[in-house]
Amino acid sequence: MNKNVYTDYFFDEPAFNTHDGGYVALETPTTPQQPLAIPPLAVPDTETSHEVSYTITAQEGEAQLLPGEKTKTWGYNADILGRTIILNDGQDVHITLKNNLPELTTFHWHGLNVSGPIIDGGCHAPVYPGKANKIDFTLHQEAATTWLHPHPCPSTAEQVWHGLAAAVIVKDKHEASLHLPRNYGVDDIPVVLQDRRFHDHNQFDYRADYDPDGVQGPTALINGTVNPYFDVTSQRLRLRLLDGANRREWRLHFSDDLKFTQIAGDGGLLPDAVDLTHLMLTCAERAEVVVDFSGYHAGDEVVLYSDDTPIVHFRIHDFNADPEPLPTHLLDIKPPVVDPATPIRKVVMSGMDESVMLDGKKFNMQRIDAEQPVGQAQYWDVTNTNDMTGGMVHPFHIHGTQFLIISRNGHASYPNEHGYKDTVGVNPGETVRILVRFDLPGVYMYHCHIIEHEDGGMMAQIESYEAGKPRPKYKLMDMETLTKAFAAERGIPISEMWMAGMDSYEKMGMKM
């Protein structure tokens, strides 16, 4: 294990979102502290050692987020966010996707290695109001914290803002053999990091808050809880951190600069545990960290901050000592071999506000922008052309696979980026080289995960195909069909339709 304790956020400070002209700072809550909501586990319809079935319902709800009136929200089998879904490596998975919302949605399995475009659940897999779709897949994936969220371009951002997001935990035998906390809800908890602004009567108003560079709010909402505390009853606590915000970067540290240990990233375990006092997550990134409270006593409090704002209070209670150390080596990773004759794929993220594009184009649902054979390893050079002054970190995400970060501007990746990932923050003026391989055929999106940017067109599609076999003809959603559906569901003429990404296309004189 590297004995260093890393004390900075790694990313380029001039590009932190605190420098944005539209930055919305988090405010310290004035409402009373309340227990951190721990999403209950989703209950399978049926389950055996080799097979599991779930019904996942997107539904409207009401949540008591602030004193006074309840907030109208959306969730998965819940009023807000969703129940945590457990999947196991090697399982045959059967999921019924039900839509009880007033408008179409999709169910995107962010971080799962599943086929696209239908099972992956991007924009081509709509589930209409009052309808249900069924998906089936066999999961071959190492233990990881992934998540479920909607992806109906260009209304992804608004639906996430309503509250649709749920943790999906993948388990495997190797991770289960390690000495790590895994008692869900006691010493192993998901921590979904989001922010919101509350308007009259404690309601969300996405359109009033809309910013093409990403919607932010001054109130931290952690697992759907404002001003939460958590009762610590074990020496070590495993936090499965997810940046589930539309735009916000989270720069995390504890009071007393308490050291913590990162054991996993987006795609699962790191090769070796990394000790940190500060951690920055960009949109959609995950990090599993273990916090050791052995230096504290019952009655003490440890606070988790984002920048200078307290976001979770950990109240220490009596706990039994755990003398066994954490494992230092966690996973052997063997990178796939790249044929030297394989060209390097160039991907360019450019612009801000309405001008965002990927490879000089805005997203078109019916256009396939790239191809890559199944099983072929390829280097992708992902460039952010923003200037460091006034530019922003763009989190780059690929559906349907996990990749390895090879370098940043030709130099080593950050110390906590040596495991598999599906999202990487790219600094302004930086080129990040990643190693990508698709194991399943399909059509997959790749995009900036500032959600308003993907809605605004900083997105493209790649087809992964099986060489030497006939290619299937995929039925891809088109914008006219989607817009008509949304307009009909909202009971308005198409001329009055507004979705977040529409402004970005219109102001650039482009057709969606």
* pLDDT tens digits, one per residue of 99-118: 999 999 999 999 999 999 99
Are 172 and 184 in the same domain?
Answer: no
Compute the mean pLDDT over every residue in the chain, rounded to the nearest whole number. 96
3-class secondary structure, 220: strand
Distance CA 420, CA 173 (A): 18
Q: What is the pLDDT of residue 162?
A: 98
Are 156 and 261 in the same domain?
Answer: no
Closest alpha carbon to 131 in 161, 155, 97, 180: 97
Q: Which two tokens stand for residue 409?
A: 């501007």
Q: Does a structural domain hold residue 337?
A: no
Are 142 and 222 in the same domain?
Answer: no
Q: Which two tokens stand for residue 46?
A: 């049926």
| Domain termination residue (choose one: 176, 211, 227) | 176
Q: How do residues 294-308 score in pLDDT, each as one tens digit?
A: 999 999 999 999 999
How many CA atoms does the CB half-sphere of 371 hold within 13 Å?
5
Q: What is the torsional sign of CA 60, 62, 63, 69? A: positive
Q: Which domain holds residue 267?
A: 5-15+179-316
Q: What is the DSSP letter of 507?
A: H
Closest alpha carbon to 376 in 334, 435, 333, 443: 435
Q: What is the pLDDT of residue 222?
A: 98
The CB density around residue 59, as the number of other CB atoms within 10 Å, is 18
Q: What is the pLDDT of residue 1?
A: 42
Are 192 and 162 in the same domain?
Answer: no
Are 130 and 200 in the same domain?
Answer: no
Q: Does a structural domain hold residue 74?
A: yes
3-class secondary structure, 206: helix
Tally of domains within the chain: 3
Q: Does a structural domain hold residue 470?
A: no
Are 159 and 60 in the same domain?
Answer: yes
Q: What is the mean pLDDT of residues 16-23?
A: 93
Task: CATH number of the domain at 86, please.
Answer: 2.60.40.420
Are 301 and 359 in the same domain?
Answer: no
Pair 56, 98: CB distance under 8 Å: yes
Q: How do residues 432-472 score in pLDDT, each as one tens digit?
A: 999 999 999 999 999 999 999 999 999 999 999 999 999 99
Are 251 and 150 in the same domain?
Answer: no
Q: Does a structural domain hold residue 26?
A: no
Q: Does a structural domain hold residue 375?
A: yes
Q: What is the mean pLDDT of residues 72-79?
A: 98
Distance CA 165, CA 398 (A): 18
Q: Does a structural domain hold residue 471?
A: no
Q: What is the pLDDT of residue 64?
A: 97
Report whether pLDDT(320) > 60: yes
Query: Which run of H or E residues covers position 55?
Result: strand 51-63
| Domain termination residue (choose one: 130, 150, 176) | 176
Closest alpha carbon to 126 in 144, 157, 101, 143: 101
CA quadruple 148, 149, 153, 156: dihedral, nearest 10: -170
Are 158 and 58 in the same domain?
Answer: yes
Percent share of the chain, pLDDT over 70: 100
Q: Does a structural domain hold residue 503?
A: no
Are 135 and 200 in the same domain?
Answer: no
Q: What is the pLDDT of residue 503?
A: 82
Are 305 and 361 in the same domain?
Answer: no
How far does CA 460 lie from the centroid of its chain?
Answer: 18
Q: Does a structural domain hold residue 142?
A: yes
Report whether pLDDT(508) > 90: no
Are 268 and 382 in the same domain?
Answer: no
